[in-house]
Structure 1
């Protein structure tokens, strides 16, 4: 099996902007391959379909919306033929992706679920008893919340919220006032569940029956229009531009500006329309006209218009055999011993989710209540609406610690949660800063300052992932707990830089974007090339989520031509083309997609047997290297450095179960064991690092 990013040529001279967008889409094709994999648990296969839907939502809300906004700000698409062609190509790829997604759902996953006793029952499949129950459910739970709107001059087309479920209805005859209102809109409140479990006694033993809210409303939509005949109807969903915009030169208070923008996000400019496949052309055209969309942005789908909400079916189905086997992460620290004492003796490396995130939470909790701790400083990018870690920072502020928290208010789709926590922390007496306007603060750092007999001492946590307890169980990340004072001093300088907006000092250990990170990476790549030209072994291994920075790509191409052996583990978008004669024959690129989301960023340079290992918050993208606050930090302890290589890199290069290899034409090929024993990096790490009690 292969997937293609499409736009590459053998010379490597590509339309990099288009290639980046297509590369983002082809990642979703690899995720869909997981949904087709019959060796995986059924509900997890369904979850992969939900993930792709969520990814496509964000792709349209941000990527496509940005392209359309760029065109509309300067004469429209007609004035930008190259941009128009790009959007057309992206549209073709998206339509093909969606068609495949629903084909997998209807021809593979749903029949397999039905065969194992889990069924979505349509109206024409329900027994009389089930129909009676559904009708009663509609009358008691659904109808009281619906407000059908017949369209006329006094009832214009209503405001439709971003990604909400709605119905368009064509009616015959006249209304109660003798007028021929022909179209009505019905909005389904978000409070209503999208997947409804039928009572067990209405199904055969061992059968779990569900129905979709869309099916319930379809079956009884005529009841909403007494005296009128429903000629046709369709569910629909509109996706809107959801990128927040603030004038960085004019804004006085970023939090206030964002709070206002959040209210309007639900009603941004429409960028995509989804309808049921059987929606009559005249109704879909009516909706396109209302939202100002052309037919390229229309998706007629064979199923519910929002597959993300099928996650409710996963949540409600209590059949362990249909899920991943339970996994309990390992706990690497000695129970009952003082955490600061452990960190003081040696650095501690945490590999999530294979090892528990609890030590990070314990680190902040201990600092919040330790009388010797005088200050806590932390960056927050994503943390969630509920967070025990944030509660501990609140406790620290109430305990009169000097608490400084740098929130990134522009963390997409987490703005509301971050504003909420910022408000609470300010009320508790903490110093809250909103990063640097125009540069997202994406670095993952926490610093504890503790008064000890020798004086003030720094304890640091540096990581590749967010301080988010839920994603720490689902994303692969590394974190380092260290009492290295040189590192701690540099971490403190980064905090001073972010709060005071002064120029940062020159660091010995940390690589800081947007100031030094890109330059240091290029310098390290060129150093490997210099060593290779001198007859020594040049070696680079990097694991990132995306590789789209042209400067880094050019440096890697040059290093390859000098003989440096380069392995890149890139989960998502990658504009580099490996294995091209005369350009990149010494470069290999692979993507690993499995049970957990690959999220850690690791940079390895052999450096004449110095074996330099850096962990980072930054991908190799221009936005990370030039338009964000990012930190890459070295692993200095030799044993921990080896652990990063042995756990974070080598298994992924060996993986022949979940790996995809990229060729010079931009096609991904599923790597197969070819007679060798199957090896999965994630399964191996779960076995090696997980709790023995699992």
Structure 2
């Protein structure tokens, strides 16, 4: 069995010692490589300009979060002398050295791309007027806006012994001005912090799309802030702070503890200080003394600070500079039952593919449950629900109608803690039983459970998702929603909720695997079965689609499977610590990453089970969990078997196969761990376009384009 295969014999056949880095890719560097793939989409000339700008801003936002969480964590370990080695054998200090070099390179790439896109936008009449001369009419409008709307909210503060250095919030942008008083020539330094309520980019009133950053606008008219002074120098800066939240295991009141932790996060250690390249030396020295520590990364740029802020201008009404609009389809199966979700699910299981199919059906499922007099109880997990949640409204409506409603609200959803506290408060006021789950585990499973009284007795309807109940991400993330009235799954879901709400460990699960109880062991068993089939000369294949693969145990198991002759194809969007295509280690493993218009987010596993893939007899699962230690050890997750033949074929032969066949948006891992964009080939295939232009998985309609639905089939050498 694979469990007995010694994968980590660190000595090669020739007696040469093999390092951990030969077997594994560093998690942090793999993430940075993923963000470079995102950044590369900003260079993709096949995309409209504003969509390229969107990818640039996403790369900036991604990098900000990486610095605030991952780098901050490593800095903390290094400062406390913790020498916990990464999967590839590097200490925190070694990782930080490599990260800083990679981050510096990415920052320079971002500025180069910004200059390129800015020039391209100018040619289309879309102007960024930061350091450019503008016509008198535009100048007058900018000055008027500055005097009437900006000056009243600005608070210049002198930096001297009489004025303590002000607090700069996480993500805060500020300006330092070096001034000389006209009356006596005395020099002083003033700080102007830009209120977070102000937009990063100001649009000049008028038909033409003319934007200017708020910091450039202030610098342009700063003399009106400082009458009687001459401005000697100025410079903009931006601060990122350690934003991870650590909760003491002995916390007595989780809500109060989180409120306190959120406040502490706002004052976390400065992790990154971003400065303009021509920052005034006197002012820069003050900033460095006041804000930087041994763990602070200081970035000086000759371009724009805070690339993530570009998201503010992507919304400009210029359809000619964006992707053609796309409207998700509503599942025809549900419409065939006059919109009755429960009737459609009773007929047979139902799979929904977001964002190609509308998330509205998930909301309708809960709305109908709230309004249905035969519904007795609703139970719901909430990890991320956004700030305008129809799901929350449906749960409140159900409670108002006297139904038993339970909501498991996860307070530990990073950067959504405050929003989730707000939802929890509103739900409790409406009479919903709110549960916060485990103190040291996150409840990450995406599950709804509706208990309904029917003629033949009580029936349980379930929704399992691979993504969040979030109104924004459901429009741009590819995820799967699975609806079923299977009694086995219903009984298992009831046990899952009892586990979270009452700490009652589930026994004798009939279909689900749940982490941290048995999900890992279940995956190991399915991988071992493929190894066993390979040993018997039967077809042995593993297909998986995940966001991240970092868990050493899973990586080692896949290496063992590869060595046993199992053919493995992995679609890993982001971090992958496994090295593919290494002779004697992972010859039979292929890893690709898909980056495109939509963010690939669904998690799917498929095991050949002794039959040629794709096969009706393959074992197919969807999951809320990635192959990461945190998902398998420290989160409540669900691995859901897909048994219904129609749904099984849709997930395996449509979703998974389309991802494997994609060539237009795919990057393939090389043996050295780097990624190369795949050659589109003579017959390019784009899985996003395929799903946008063909009938929904759950529907029975005609293709949106003439010619019917193309039949997907494996190409020779694709791992059949």
Q: Do they superpose with TM above 0.5?
A: yes
Corresponding residue for 2:279? 279
Task: State the TM-score, normalizing by the size of structure 2.
Answer: 0.90
Corresponding residue for 2:220? 219
Corresponding residue for 1:189? 195
**What displacement does 1:294 show?**
4.7
1:591 is paired with a residue whose SS is: strand
CA RMSD for the aligned pairs?
2.2
Selected match of 2:552 from 550, 571, 579:
550
Distance in 1, Cα, partners of 2:409 & 2:380: 9
Q: How does 1:245-264 map to 2 (within 5 A)?
A: 245-249=246-250, 251-264=251-264
Is it true that 1:48 corresponds to 2:25 in the alignment?
A: no
**What displacement does 1:130 show?**
1.8
Q: How does 1:31-46 map to 2 (within 5 A)?
A: 31-46=38-53
2:55 is paired with a residue whose SS is: helix
CA change 1:689–1:255 in 2 (3 A) is farther
Paired residues of 2:568 and 2:588 also in contact (CA < 8 A): yes
Corresponding residue for 2:166? 158
Segment of structure 1 superposing worse, 580-589 or 291-300:
291-300
Corresponding residue for 1:685? 691
1:603 is paired with a residue whose SS is: strand
**What displacement does 1:556 show?**
0.4
Segment of structure 1 superposing worse, 266-275 or 64-73:
64-73
Distance in 1, Cα, partners of 2:282 & 2:185: 21
Distance in 2, Cα, partners of 1:504 & 1:139: 64
Corresponding residue for 1:230? 231
Paired residues of 2:693 and 2:704 also in contact (CA < 8 A): no
Distance in 2, Cα, partners of 1:258 & 1:405: 18
Give the gaps of 5 or more residues in structure 1: 1-8, 202-206
Is it true that 1:328 corresponds to 2:336 in the alignment?
A: no
Distance in 2, Cα, partners of 1:25 & 1:449: 45
Distance in 2, Cα, partners of 1:419 & 1:649: 36
Measured against aligned partners, the alpha-carbon deviations of 1:328-368 in whole angstroms (never above 9, x if no partner) come to: 11222342243212111100110111111111111100111
Is it true that 1:63 corresponds to 2:64 in the alignment?
A: no
Segment of structure 1 superposing worse, 288-297 or 482-491:
288-297
Is it true that 1:288 corresponds to 2:294 in the alignment?
A: no
Paired residues of 2:273 and 2:296 also in contact (CA < 8 A): no
**What displacement does 1:379 show?**
0.4
Is it true that 1:29 corresponds to 2:17 in the alignment?
A: no
Measured against aligned partners, the alpha-carbon deviations of 1:509-531 in whole angstroms (never above 9, x if no partner) come to: 11111111111111111110110
Corresponding residue for 1:14? 21
Corresponding residue for 1:143? 151
CA change 1:452–1:305 in 2 (3 A) is same
CA change 1:493–1:470 in 2 (3 A) is same
**What displacement does 1:477 show?**
0.5
Selected match of 1:383 from 382, 385, 403:
385
Is it true that 1:120 corresponds to 2:128 in the alignment?
A: yes
Paired residues of 2:25 and 2:578 also in contact (CA < 8 A): no
Distance in 2, Cα, partners of 1:425 & 1:587: 47
Task: State the TM-score, normalizing by the size of structure 1.
Answer: 0.93
Paired residues of 1:11 and 1:583 also in contact (CA < 8 A): no
Measured against aligned partners, the alpha-carbon deviations of 1:46-84 in whole angstroms (never above 9, x if no partner) come to: 00011011101110110011111122234899xx99422
Corresponding residue for 2:303? 303
Give the gaps of 5 or more residues in structure 2: 1-11, 612-616, 706-720
Distance in 2, Cα, partners of 1:124 & 1:348: 56
Is it true that 1:669 corresponds to 2:676 in the alignment?
A: yes
Corresponding residue for 1:94? 103
2:20 is paired with a residue whose SS is: coil
1:689 is paired with a residue whose SS is: coil
Count of residues in correspondence between the two structures: 673
1:36 is paired with a residue whose SS is: coil
2:694 is paired with a residue whose SS is: helix
Distance in 2, Cα, partners of 1:673 & 1:18: 27
Paired residues of 1:440 and 1:629 also in contact (CA < 8 A): yes
**What displacement does 1:172 show?**
2.8
Distance in 2, Cα, partners of 1:601 & 1:230: 56
Q: How does 1:205-604 map to 2 (within 5 A)?
A: 207-249=208-250, 251-294=251-294, 297-315=297-315, 317-332=316-331, 333-335=333-335, 336-604=338-606
Paired residues of 1:236 and 1:274 also in contact (CA < 8 A): yes
